[in-house]
Structure 1
Amino acid sequence: MSAQGNQPAPTTGPGRAPRGSACLNCRRRKFKCDGARPICGPCIRTHREYDCEYTDGPTRSPTQLLEDNIARLEARIYELEHPESVAPSVTLHDPHTATAPPNTPIQLTPIASSSAGAAGSSAPSASYLMPQASLVTALDATSEPSPDVVQMLVGFFLPHANQVGFFLHHGRFREHALVPAADTRQARLSPALLNAVYLWGVHFSGNASMIAHEPVFLQRAVQAVSSALVRVPPYNIIYSIQAEVLLAHYFFAANRSLEGRYHSNAAVALSLSCRLNKLRSSNNMPNPPGVLNVDLAPPADALEEGERINAFWCVFILDKSWSVRAGSPSHFNGSPGAQVDIPWPLQIEDYAQRGIPPTLRSSLTMQTFLSGVSPELTQGMSPMALRAKASALFERASRRASQWTPAMAYVEQFAAELFVLENVIQQFVDALPPLHGAPDPDTARDRLITHTFALVASMQVHSTLRQGQNGAPGRDLDAARRAVAAIDSVNLAGIGYVDPIMAVLWTAVSRVLIGEIVRLRMIWTSASLLADQAAAGAHQQQHVEADHDGLIAALQKILTAMTTFAHTSPLMALQAATVRQELEGSAR
């Protein structure tokens, strides 16, 4: 035997992979990977099997390929945001011409989908239920669904559509979607949109036999979206945006944030490409020659214009909400090409009933609101407009909180900006419709989400001010308690499904409560030492104990709410488990 063969293998510690050979998930989370293949031990123990990928093979991993695609999309978005300073790398074409473009429009590479989302929780209406045996026979995810199955899936989807970013008119969409001929149906709505709706319909069905088909429906939806824009002539770009928004919501809910970010960025890029942010702008200056060449045909009617306006705001809300979770900047923070000049959204039925005055023009819609100029605080009061404002406040407060450091320059200026932001938040919260007395569960759910967004924004601002010793103590805790109290105003059992961004918001609230619990336990220990020395010490101990018990009860309310929706969203289930672990850790 050769001398080389007698040499011992290099030691890496018990159960630890050699340096450089850990899986991607363990590297990101700073876990000690054991290098087991195809799935390592730490990923199995933390239920992250689908994130376990190795990069030491001959080809790039799916995650690396997806990150490459995201980088290309973000570069494209930057070009759209800064048309005056960047030479375009892609020439976009008019989607209403039948000639092939000189360059391929925004390429959306198919994403390999290896897992299904969790089952939906909602109970569909009886008119869409089928006996299980015939359901399994009728549902074939490998081919275009039959008209009966399409009707069933659309029926499962529409009651929850607004919670997953659906901005189209329900009646008009249903009319097109339920056309018996598949070719006519696809020509009117596009396969990308239809397959995204079918996917969510399966997800919301609550039927185990249907949910078994969910991975195939997901694959079909992703492939349809990736090919929608390269078709000649292309499908309606608004429908492509809708499909991207639906898929982004699906992946975020499934705790597949990288894929969610990809489709969210695609929706942003498409929206900026056709200048949805400039609809009805009073300052609609054309872009430099060669930078942008996507012009939407004039809307056929007021309802179609309303769908375009609401399309932009759904993309805006998606971007503002989830950029915080991703730790990436929002794409709508004042860049020239991404300036928001569009009117505030209305409820979709209002466009059909009264439309928008022909002379109405808008400028700096969101920037004016965030600056605290009073007229904008009382304009835009539809549920979608309020959600857009609340998500913008949440994103700005979170971004400011992430920028704070004790050694930062211009601390006084930074604090002054935070006080302005808190003033806007407070005026906004005061103007919100009350949580009590909502006329129906959908309205109650919308109000709960909007109130929670705003209260978490306030919480973030006051936490940051307290770190800089500029804020009143306890204001962040007050906001957290109000967010918990909001839960009591809604019958969660009657909602069925809630936007999974609530998992992120409720986790943020929980962490403020847990931080206060830790502080009280330290005081509790000190009070216990003083209890035998003075009556004041005993009184303090009783007061601290009462506060502590109240905070524990508040946390239990949040955990109960998260548990209610855990089976509808893997992200919600994960965040609930995270809150429990952090609460248990605070007791050590």
Structure 2
Amino acid sequence: MPSTQRSPGGSSSGRAPRGSACLNCRRRKFKCDGARPICGPCIRSNCEFDCEYTDGPTRSPTQVLEDNISRLEARIYELEHPEIVTPSVTLYDPRSPPPVPGPSSVTAHQVPNMPIAGPSGGQPMLAAFFAPPQSVPTLAPNFGSEPSPEVIKMLIGHFLPRASQIGFFLHPARFIACATDPHAFALAPALFGAVCLWGARFSRDPAVRAHEPFFLQRAVHSVAAALAHPPTHTLVHAIQAEVLLANYFFTANRLLEGRYHCNAAVALVLSCRLNKLRAVPDPPAAAVTRGVELPPPADAVEEGERINAFWSVFVLDKSWAVVVGSPSHFDGPPGAQVDTPWPLDIEKYEHGGIPPGVQGSRTAEAFLAEVVPDGGSVSSLARLAKGAALFERATRLASQWTPAMVYIEQFAVDFFFLDSVIDQFVASLPPIEAAPTQADARTLLLTHTFALAATIRVHGTLKQAEGGTAQDRDVAAAHAAAAALDSIDLAQLAFADPILAILWTSVCRALIGEIARVRVLWTSALLRDGDTTAASETAETAAALGAAHDGHLSALQKVLDAMAVLASAAPLMAVQAAKIRQEFEGAPP
């Protein structure tokens, strides 16, 4: 964790005075100790960012955004627990035009009780914290309010090669047809705005990059309008737009906005029961979530887009629940059950997709409960979802450990069982250099790093529990994560999924901790070098420690070099890299 000095800020009993807990602990109902910049519970949860406190006399923009997120999370809870929650009543602005639903479209009234209105009544809830910019960049002639076909083609050309790194799950050919063919079904405005935004971000042309703020404003307002008024787009397009915007804000180190759009995507997939696609039928007496009744998919590709939409949101939720310190919305005690089958690569749906008789039941939980990995589900997205699930489960277990645990034996059993699942999963992954394309290689790099970061969390906690006497499996995993970078051409990487900034931070911290430990032992061995009775043995020990130190340092530098390559296009990566360098400078010399 950061080496910043912490101030108590709480009471002498170790608990913050009533009403003064940080926002994270307040949301999770943890007992906050009020320490700053990061409180004790948030440190144990591996939260990467300083706590936020509400000391001021007025509500901050953060609190306003937290309120909006709380409304979404309340709705998600209703969707997760239909058997115990009385549906709320949603009021609509009488001045708004009546909804006119279209085929395969989702409207505000079709997503039951979606909290779309803020304090001002009919205004979209995003308006409370996304004020229009003071000025919109003056657009070049070919960047009008409706971009020309040439501009659209250019932006899509920038977007698609890296789209898989930011959660794009639609069928590429059908997406291009929607975006460029005037005779095809029009692309949803929200999705169109999100794609243009990322296309501008990926462009190397400064003239195009200059219009990124304009496209951001357009994308955010289009998504707000899609939730507040009858849209003309499909549900899957709405989910795709939310995923793209969530990753945009996470990349920009704007975590609250990212969390909002992530939760919006979760609410949409749960409203439409995309977590129950191909599910074994519920018992007759089981409570069923009331939501959007989607028409049957037109073909296997359309069904595949829905399946992949769910798993893309699953990966997003599992990844960033760890970062913001909140529970995942899927599986586990508080989450919705996942019965949707593992996804296929989108191209596989063109050839029939998932066989008609295949049904799913507790898909992710079954994977986490089995030591032997299943033989199927070898798609890139399926592997990525498994890696994200392992990382989230490992972090959740690690956050529960305290020196005074009562059920330490059961905790150890759970930890070692999870460790076995992680080991089996890592062994089943293909090598990165065997990936057929650069996009597949980048996804495999992320999947490998997810699993290795899970190992670091598990064995780092075990080492802490055993007083530093445990085997250095966390350090070995950190070296493996660094070595995985040898299979990637960093010069062509240019951009990566923003969660890599967090995963690489865990890798670097494991290496920094080991470097500090080795330096202490190395110094001690060198000081004993003058003892002639054991001079030879001491010299060998010092040499071995020196070689180990250099190896750890080389691995750390390799990860920092990768972060430096990506930092210019990703503020979150730049922030995490600077944090790691600061922590390394504070390590024992």
- State the TM-score, normalized to the length of structure 2: 0.82
The Cα shift of 1:61 comes to: 3.2
Q: What's the counterpart of residue 551 of structure 1? A: 552
Alpha-carbon deviation of 1:335? 5.2
**Identical columns (%):** 54
How many angstroms apart in 2 are the aligned matches of 1:507 and 1:289?
42
Q: Residue 178 of structure 1 aligns to which amino acid in structure 2?
A: T
Matching residue within 156, 159, 162 for 1:157: 159
The correspondence for 1:279, drawn from 270, 274, 277, is 277
The aligned runs of 1:213-362 (5 Å cut-off) are: 213-232=211-230, 235-284=233-282, 292-334=290-332, 338-362=336-360
Aligned 8 A contact 1:91 1:292 in 2: no
Instruction: Choose from 114, 122, 131 the match for 1:105.
Output: 114
CA distance in 2, matches of 1:115, 1:504: 30
Query: What does 1:83-122 align with in structure 2 at a 5 Å threshold?
Result: 83-90=82-89, 96=103, 101=109, 105-107=114-116, 109-110=125-126, 112-113=129-130
Counterpart of 2:171? 169
Assess, with a 3 A threshold, how the Cα gap between structure 1 residues 448 and 286 changes in structure 2: closer, same or farther: farther
Compute the TM-score of the two structures, normalised by the length of structure 1. Answer: 0.82
User: What is the aligned partner in structure 2 of residue 145 from structure 1?
Assistant: 147
Instruction: Quote the Cα distance in structure 2 between the aligned partners of 1:356 and 1:208.
Output: 44
Aligned residues: 524
Change (3 A) 1:99 1:283: closer
- Change in Cα spacing, 1:52 to 1:113, as seen in structure 2 (3 Å) is farther
2:292 is paired with a residue whose SS is: coil
Tell me which amino acid in the other structure corresponds to 2:233.
Y
Please tell me whether the aligned partners of residues 387 and 447 of structure 2 are also in contact (alpha carbons under 8 angstroms).
Answer: yes
1:459 touches 1:475 (CA, 8 Å); kept in 2? yes
Q: Distance in 1 between matches of 2:328 and 2:273?
A: 17
Displacement over 6 Å in runs of 4+: 51-55, 91-95, 97-100, 286-290
Q: CA deviation at 1:229?
A: 2.6
Mind listing any 5+ residue stretches in structure 2 that lack a counterpart?
A: 1-22, 24-33, 38-48, 92-98, 117-123
Give deviations 1:320-378, integer Å, cap 9, x for gaps: 1111111111111245871110111001110011222111111111111000164x522
In structure 2, what is the Cα distance between the partners aligned to 1:329 and 1:337?
A: 8
Distance 1:439 1:466, change over 3 A: same
Structure 1 residue ranges without an equivalent (≥5): 1-23, 32-47, 117-133
Q: 1:215-260 CA deviation, whole Å, 9 max, x = no partner? A: 1211111111111133336632211111100000000000001110
Q: CA deviation at 1:113?
A: 4.9
* Whole-Å separation in 1 of the counterparts to 2:460 and 2:528: 30
Q: Does the Cα contact within 8 Å between 2:450 and 2:503 map onto a contact in 1?
A: yes
Q: Could you tell me how far 1:52 is from its partner in structure 2?
A: 12
Once the two structures are superposed, the pairs formed by residues 390-539 of structure 1 within 5 Å of their partners are 390-469=387-466, 472-533=470-531, 534-535=534-535, 536-539=537-540
Give per-residue Cα distances to partners, 1:85-109, cap 9 Å, x unaligned. Answer: 1112256998758998497634162
The change in CA–CA distance for 1:101 and 1:390 in structure 2 (over 3 A counts) is closer
Q: Is the 8 A contact 2:107 2:227 kept in 1?
A: no
**AA of the residue aligned to 2:432:** L
8 Å CA contact 1:281, 1:363 repeated in 2: yes
Q: Deviations over 1:421-447 (max 9, x none)?
A: 011111111111112333221121111
Kept in 2: contact 1:106–1:229 (CA 8 A): no
Distance 2:559 2:61 in 1: 35
Are the structure 2 counterparts of residues 574 and 337 from structure 1 closer, same or farther at C-alpha, using a change threshold of 3 Å? closer
Q: Compared with structure 1, are the counterparts of its residues 465 and 98 closer, same or farther at alpha carbon in structure 2 (3 Å cutoff)?
A: closer
Amino acid at match of 2:80: E
Say what the alpha-carbon RMSD is for the aligned residues.
3.2
Amino acid at match of 2:433: H
Distance 1:61 1:278, change over 3 A: same
3-state SS in 2 of match to 1:444: helix
Shift of 1:307: 0.1
State how far apart, in whole Å, the 1-side matches of 2:66 and 2:345 are: 36
Q: Structure 2 CA distance, aligned partners of 1:163 and 1:495?
A: 11
Counterpart of 1:11? none
Choose the corresponding residue for 2:206, options 201, 205, 208: 208
Q: 1:90 to 1:194 in 2, by over 3 A?
A: farther
Partners of 1:257 and 1:100 lie apart in 2 by: 26
